Amino acid sequence: MDPGHRPAVQRAAASPAAARRIAASAAAAALVALPSCAADACSDRGERRLARLVELAIAEPGPTADAAEQALVAAGPAAILYLETGLYDAEPDGRRRLVRILARMGDREGHPILVHLARHDPDPDVRAEAAAGARALGPAPGDRRPAEGGPPP
């Protein structure tokens, strides 16, 4: 076939400027087709799971609450925010369980929560459990007051 007889579209596509436009269009189409984030990162499934585990942990004691406690300890620091939030609505038994979970995690991020509960929770058993958990994690950096409260040394 004679190059002069090629259809106009083929001749236009063969030009360098057209090739750049086609490549740019293809790149833009590929970007639009990509998800804005990874599937797991876009999902709130993990967050809902942690919130549900906290609900189960503060519910009636038993095998379900025990399993929820184990799962929350295994979740580690990712669960701390949900544990702290659960403290607001929990009865004293539930708060003691959440305190125990924070202490069992062994993560220093939970220390300020335990110290606060040791000093301010209205239930003496929760305060005692929180103080024990805070002591197990060691003193907070720069914190010279004991977890049980009282004046600084």
**How far apart are the C-alpha atoms of 16 and 81, rounded to whole Å?**
56
**Domain presence at residue 66:** yes
Shared domain check, 67 and 13? no
Read off the pTM.
Answer: 0.64
**Domain presence at residue 14:** yes
**Domain presence at residue 147:** no
Q: What is the pLDDT of residues 134-146, one digit of tens each?
A: 999 887 656 555 5
Torsion over CA: 75, 81, 82, 88 (sign) = positive
Shared domain check, 27 and 69? no
Q: What is the pLDDT of residues 31-62, one digit of tens each?
A: 333 344 444 455 577 788 999 999 999 998 89
Shared domain check, 74 and 15? no
Shared domain check, 88 and 22? no
Please give the residue range of the domain that contains residue 67: 43-137
